[in-house]
Amino acid sequence: MFVLNKTNSIANHFLAEIRDKNIQLDSMRFRKNLERLGSLLAYELSKSLSYRTETVHTPLGSADIQLISSQPLLIPIMRAGIPFYQGVLNYFDHADSGFIGAYRGKSDDNNDFEIQLDYVATPSLEGRRLILIDPMLATGKSILKTLRALRQNGEPDHVDIMCAIASPEGIAYLREHIDLKFDLWVAAVDEELNNKAYIVPGLGDAGDLAFGQKL
């Protein structure tokens, strides 16, 4: 597991701003900071990809450069994942993309919920390196349910799960229940989940902060 804020960097400023309840009032800035964190994590993840040597010809000569040998497949979980995904796409601009819609459905118990998947559109996952993008890893249930739905479209060779903020409970849940090779790329790991399954201290509802409150 890679944790971005284990090393001090400019990423701490972006993390501070997405958490700050006053700065959160500016939804455009919130989206931009999620995008920035997505780009920084994409850069770190890029170091783990496979590369091949290609020769590039300049006006004055030639240079051998290591280029990505196989592009990953990017899949954000909407709606909160959209600006975070854009940051990843800024760096993996030749990658294919799929999209999946997931949300917390209501249940009779106010302290419990079911993950609902309403939209899945993706290329074949067979043999691909899949980057699953969701800014908040809380319980881990939406990630697991998403993976199960996606694997109906092929078996990925490797899965990378990218989040801005994760809970220890969510990380443990994924490690227990995902039955294929995966890596976690997160900007920060927080203290815990509260009794409503929100990350503490977290930042609140990322989708609402990015795009406005939903009904």
Residue-by-residue pLDDT tens, the chain, 215 positions: 999 999 999 999 999 999 999 999 999 999 999 999 999 999 999 999 999 999 999 999 999 999 999 999 999 999 899 999 999 999 999 999 999 987 666 554 555 556 677 788 999 999 999 999 999 999 999 899 999 999 999 999 999 999 999 999 999 999 999 999 999 999 999 999 999 889 999 999 999 999 998 87
Whether 123 and 98 have beta carbons less than 8 Å apart is answered as yes
Residue 137 near residue 170 (C-beta atoms within 8 A): yes
Residue whose token pair is 């109906």: 152
Domain ranges of the chain: 2-211
Q: Which fold has domain 2-211?
A: Rossmann fold (3.40.50)
User: What is the C-alpha separation between 214 and 194, in angstroms, rounded?
Assistant: 21
- Given a contact cutoff of 8 angstroms between Cβ atoms, the answer to whether 203 and 19 are in contact is yes
So what's the pLDDT on residue 215?
Answer: 77
> Would you give the DSSP letter of residue 135?
S
Kindly list the distances between the CA atom of residue 7 and the CA atoms of 19, 78, 198, in Å, as whole numbers in the listed order: 19, 29, 25
